[in-house]
């Protein structure tokens, strides 16, 4: 689009900014509660709500408390909740068998949420890191993160989550070929309506630090994730990954992290037009909260501005730890 602009003073951009009412009239993008997916952390126990120190305002909740939180989220109109387990270290093994245990923490949380808040969509995380003794998303064999054997495990994990009632499967592992394998397994096991939101363009990022604390993976992780997560320098590769995942049967795609990668969001939306999501990750959340706690920025305004930016960049929605706070503000 080539904008037509009459020369000054015929055109004065400030005219349309004078009245709040007109600012609303000319506004190009809006953030609504419909845009929110709320990531939550689940842990063992009962009646437990344990703060995550590096993510002020975020809790690890026991299954009963997660169900309660889901009821509140549903009442606020939040469309989806995404579960991440803080797994007891004693359940972390080399074969990661806990990942597809039908009664693992995550699967119990899925069932509890579906029972308590049936109208909220439940999204999961598919990756081995919460169950892996070395903190990696895939199996480690002789120091290498092996692809195909990991994909087999991820498929088992996917099916256990679908059995437990998950609506949206969220593979965050970045192995090659996993979307197709998961989609075929879901199709052939009667779960053809279960969706896949692929973490298609996931970068090897320093912004995941607080999350790894929250799920208890920071201590466990040996080395880094650069052999499977993307190089932050790359942009064309993101488009190739998104295309690959869409052709393998992903229903929706994600870019992660969010704010440092808005250029990728825009390219992805313009190129494919698919339902596109960004993950405002733990480090982005922590930065806003930390600055707000020091009175260096207005936390509420920064939160809303950061989320609106995703809409402007073409995203259909955002995974954000701010979801309940935003929904409360938007509800008025």
Which residues does the annotation mark as catalytic? Answer: 202, 256
Closer residue to ligand PBG (CB): 104 or 172: 172
Contacts of residue 321, defined as CB under 8 A and 6 or more positions apart, other chains included, come to 38, 39, 55, 57, 58, 280, 282, 285
Question: What is the closest distance, in whole angstroms, from the C-beta atom of residue 171 to ligand PBG in the complex?
Answer: 9
Closer residue to ligand PBG (CB): 158 or 172: 172
Nearest to 252, CA basis, from 275, 284, 222 = 275
117-120: list long-range contacts, CB under 8 Å, 24+ apart.
117/67, 117/70, 117/71, 117/73, 117/74, 119/74, 120/70, 120/73, 120/74, 120/78, 120/79, 120/80, 120/81
Report the phi/psi class of residue 53: left, alpha or beta, with left for phi > 0 and alpha for psi in -120 to 50: alpha
Question: What is the closest distance, in whole angstroms, from the C-beta atom of residue 195 to ligand PBG in the complex?
Answer: 18
Question: What is the closest distance, in whole angstroms, from the C-beta atom of residue 245 to ligand PBG in the complex?
Answer: 16
Give the C-alpha separation, 101 to 174, whole Å: 22
Question: What is the closest distance, in whole angstroms, from the C-beta atom of residue 24 to ligand PBG in the complex?
Answer: 32
Answer yes or no: are the C-beta atoms of 110 and 165 closer than 8 Å.
yes
Question: What is the closest distance, in whole angstroms, from the C-beta atom of residue 208 to ligand PBG in the complex?
Answer: 4
Give the C-alpha separation, 252 to 273, whole Å: 10
Give contact residues for ligand PBG (rule: CB under 6 A).
125, 127, 129, 137, 172, 208, 211-212, 225, 281-282
Give the C-alpha separation, 108 to 28, whole Å: 42
Dihedral sign for Cα atoms in the order 107, 109, 115, 121:
negative
Closer residue to ligand PBG (CB): 156 or 212: 212
Question: What is the closest distance, in whole angstroms, from the C-beta atom of residue 20 to ligand PBG in the complex?
Answer: 35
Closer residue to ligand PBG (CB): 258 or 299: 258
Closer residue to ligand PBG (CB): 64 or 288: 288
8-state DSSP, 36: E
Closer residue to ligand PBG (CB): 97 or 270: 97
């Amino acid at each position: 689009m080539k904008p037509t602009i009459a020369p000054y003073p015929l055109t004065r951009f400030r005219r349309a900014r004078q009245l709040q009412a007109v600012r609303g009239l000319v506004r190009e993008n809006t953030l609504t509660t419909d845009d929110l997916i709320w990531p939550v952390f689940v842990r063992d126990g009962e009646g437990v709500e344990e703060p995550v120190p590096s993510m002020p305002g975020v809790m690890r909740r026991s299954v009963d408390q997660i169900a309660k939180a889901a009821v509140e989220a549903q009442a606020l109109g939040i469309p989806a909740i995404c579960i991440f387990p803080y797994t007891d270290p004693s359940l972390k093994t080399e074969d990661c068998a806990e990942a597809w245990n039908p009664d693992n923490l995550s699967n119990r949380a899925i069932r509890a949420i579906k029972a308590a808040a049936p109208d909220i969509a439940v999204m999961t995380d598919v990756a081995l890191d919460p169950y892996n003794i070395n903190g990696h998303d895939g199996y480690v064999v002789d120091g290498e993160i092996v692809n195909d054997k990991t994909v087999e495990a991820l498929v088992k994990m996917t099916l256990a989550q679908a059995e437990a009632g998950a609506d949206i499967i969220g593979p965050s592992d970045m192995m090659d070929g996993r979307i197709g394998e998961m989609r075929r397994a879901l199709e052939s096991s009667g779960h053809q309506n279960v969706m896949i939101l692929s973490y298609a363009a996931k970068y090897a990022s320093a912004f995941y630090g607080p999350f790894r604390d929250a799920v208890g993976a920071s201590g466990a992780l040996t080395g880094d994730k650069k052999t499977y997560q993307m190089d932050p320098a790359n942009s064309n590769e993101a488009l190739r990954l998104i295309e690959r995942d869409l052709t393998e049967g992903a229903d929706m795609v994600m870019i992660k992290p969010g704010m440092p990668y808005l250029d990728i969001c825009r390219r992805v939306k313009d190129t494919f037009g698919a339902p596109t999501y960004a993950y405002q990750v733990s480090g982005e959340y922590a930065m806003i909260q930390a600055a707000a706690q020091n009175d260096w920025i207005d936390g509420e305004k920064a939160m809303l501005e950061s989320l609106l930016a995703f809409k402007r960049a073409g995203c259909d929605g955002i995974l954000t730890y701010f979801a309940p706070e935003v929904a409360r503000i938007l509800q008025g």
